[in-house]
Amino acid sequence: MAPDPRPIAFFDSGVGGLPYLEAARPLLLGERFAYLADRGGFPYGTKTREQVRARVLEVVEAIRRRFDPKVLVIACNTASQAALEAVRKANPGLPVIGTVPAVKPAALRTRSGTIGVMATARAVEDPYLDELVARHAPGVRVLREAAQDLVSFVELRYPGSTEAERLAAVEGHARRLVELGADEIVLACTHFLHVAADIARAAGAGVEVVDSRDGVARRLASILAERALGAPEGSPGGGLFALTGPGPFEPGYAVFAARFGLEGPVALDLG
């Protein structure tokens, strides 16, 4: 089978999925990437499951029209929980990878018997998380921390923030979990990966902060290999950062694009 020069698409409600793209790059040299932040639909964490599913299906359709990706990564926990199966059903010829909160490794590693899950307001209440906990954390006490305010902080304020501002944004959430006995904190919203080091600092020694980016990167590399979808030999790679919603774009998005080595931002029309 011939090499496939099409891009790999990553999709999130905003900038949260960028660390997932960053984790995949070293495993996929020469690949092209298209990253889409659904600025026009942000945030997902305050919407109903049905609203998120409808929005995700609309955006994925636009991604396929614009980029024709060979693989799609839904690098958003709320979107994955609400819409992953619907996206796969609507796009049978497209390999689709979702993000799953790292409850299993946290449950295996906890010493205190208590783990914390930080997520959006929508995700902490979703039945998907209930099922994940029942399957992978039986006998483990699982605390749930809705940190919807932190999503907006990362999306809108992170690029120009100071260390003190970042610590102030995460400290209340991290300390509540630690004071209730958690020694593992699962980042179940991709936005939180941008402030993972700040969360670890606020939580203190002896608390591990875990996420799923490495597992998603390995799964992506595996699918490309299994299906012979790798880029042509000698491909220079590269990536593009796209946004939904009307312009002009906030300056912070250009900062994110540059920080993660992507061209743009450019507009993606959902029409």
Catalytic residues: 76, 189
The Cα–Cα gap between 210 and 109 comes to 10
Helix axes 148-156, 163-179, angle to 10 degrees: 160
The Cα–Cα gap between 210 and 67 comes to 32
By C-alpha distance, which of 57, 189, 187, 202 is closest to 122? 189
Q: 130 to each of 16, 37, 60, 241, how far by Cα in Å?
A: 23, 27, 26, 34
User: Any bridge partners for residue 10, and if so which?
Assistant: 35, 73
The Cα–Cα gap between 266 and 247 comes to 10
Give, as one character, the DSSP assignment of residue 147: -
The Cα–Cα gap between 255 and 250 comes to 10
Specify the residue for token string 């693989």.
71
The Cα–Cα gap between 110 and 115 comes to 7
Q: 25 to each of 204, 230, 253, how far by Cα in Å?
A: 30, 13, 20
